[in-house]
Structure 1
Amino acid sequence: MKHRGPYCVYIVQCADGTYYTGYTNDLAGRLALHNSGRGAKYVRSRLPVALVYTKQYRYHKKALQAERDIKKLTRSQKEKLAGTYAGTND
């Protein structure tokens, strides 16, 4: 199966102030899915969510690695990353 890019790694802030990190090749669709309550289980009970960071990657593998790296960050590191958000691309 071929993956179709580009891919976005994203962080959303949930209504309770927590952060959720994911990746997708359809950011608008994924955000709509999250906010409809049909997205990730973690997010379902913490609606609505707001996009606070995204970065675009050409390759699936790079996006997956970036997602893993972001998930390892502390809350304060994620807050700093969200504070630098300007819709940057790779």
Structure 2
Amino acid sequence: MTGFVYILRCADGTYYVGSTRNIDHRLRQHQDGDGAEYTKRRRPVELVFCRECSTVAEAFGFEKRIHGWSRAKRQALIDGRFDLLPGLSRKTFRR
């Protein structure tokens, strides 16, 4: 069964990242205030990125990776600037 990973832009300009089996149903839930507590308080929301994945597990894994990304990296993904993604990775330095 396929899955979707998506990013919503909330009314306050923040991003919400999620995954689902049925993107149309999930978007209706978010718009109706039934999707998530985060988006409920920040409606209306706008779908700014959506990618179909071959499995729900793949979509969930991609969602979790995006959760760790900076706003700039999320924006590059939304804008389709895939060439910028590696340079926007957070780097950890060992001392």
**What TM-score does the superposition give when structure 1 sets the normalisation length?**
0.86
Which of the two has greater helix per residue? Answer: 2
**What TM-score does the superposition give when structure 2 sets the normalisation length?**
0.81
Residues 29-51 of structure 1 show CA distances to partners (whole Å, capped at 9, x for unaligned) of 10010000111000001000000
What is the match of residue 84 of structure 1? 80
Give how far 1:60 is off.
2.0
* Unaligned ranges ≥5, structure 2: 82-95
Residues 31-89 of structure 1 show CA distances to partners (whole Å, capped at 9, x for unaligned) of 0100001110000010000000011111122111101001110011111111119xxxx
CA-atom RMSD, angstroms? 1.2
- Write out the 4+ residue segments of structure 1 that deviate beyond 2 Å after TM superposition: none
- Looking at CA atoms only, which structure, 1 or 2, has the larger radius of gyration? 2
Where relative contact order (Cα < 8 A, 6+ residues apart) is larger, the structure is: 1
Between the aligned residues of both structures, percent identity stands at 36
* Unaligned ranges ≥5, structure 1: 86-90
What is the match of residue 49 of structure 1? 45
Any idea what SS the aligned residue of 2:44 has?
Answer: coil
